[in-house]
Structure formats: structure tokens, C-alpha cells
Amino acid sequence: MDYHFSKIVQQNFEEAVIAVTAALQAEGFGVLTDIDLKATFHKKLGVDIRPYRILGACHAPSAFQAVQAEERIGLMLPCNVIVRETKEGAVEVSAVDPVASMQAIQNQSLGQVATSVREKLQQAIERV
């Protein structure tokens, strides 16, 4: 099982970040974090990479259910969605597969939440 699902999009990098954020919001997610790895690596390491952003997406009702089912699940939250420029110059959008992430945790209730979140993330990625 892959740990992510991905899609090459036709937008440029910045347009894709905006489109992904809007698509996540349309599915009920908020973006809690926005990490610019290109800027961070340049500042901290003095190295340059292609554009790469990590968006920490949270579907609050599902996160609440997950915390109720498994108190330490916050270690695996929020769901990361990345927008990156590939070495070929394309823009790729990828989201973590919460079902794959939760396989190590033996909790059927949590599995149901992960399946629901997976569907919402897949729909968001398809919107872009």
C-alpha cells in the first residue's frame, strides 16, 4: 500500500498552492501549518531546492473523533499535503494516506475515521 496519493497539476507552483488550499477548505479542512522547505533549507542550510511546501491540513470533526478513539493520535496529526516542483519542472500535489499511516495502530474506530479522511483528501486532490 502506498503511503500517499499524488497528481501532476497544470498550474504553476504558486497557483497550485492556492488551488490546493481552496480544495482542502471545500472539503472541510483547515490549513494549520504551511512550511516552505525551499526557504527553510536556504536560510538554515544555505542550500537551494526546487519549490516545496508542506501544508498541514486538519479536518477538525475527524481529528476530534480520532483523539477520542486514540489519545496519542496527535503524534500523527495533521494530515500533510505537499506541493512540489519535480525535477522535470512539473508541479505535483501529494497527500498522505491516513489509512496507511494508521495501520500500525490497532484501533477499529480509528480506522473508520482514517477511511473517511482519506476520501475527503482524495476529493480535495481531485479538485485541483
Mean pLDDT of the chain: 96
Query: What is the spatial distance between Cα 125 and Cα 128, in angstroms, rounded to a whole number?
Result: 6
State residue 52's pLDDT score: 99
Whether pLDDT at 1 is above 80: no
46: part of which helix (H) or strand (E)? none
Task: Tell me the mean pLDDT in the region 38-42.
Answer: 99
Find the domain containing 100 and state its range: 4-127
What pTM did the predictor assign?
Answer: 0.94
Give pLDDT tens digits for 85-112.
999 999 999 999 999 999 889 888 899 9
Residue 17 sits in a domain whose CATH number is: 3.30.310.70
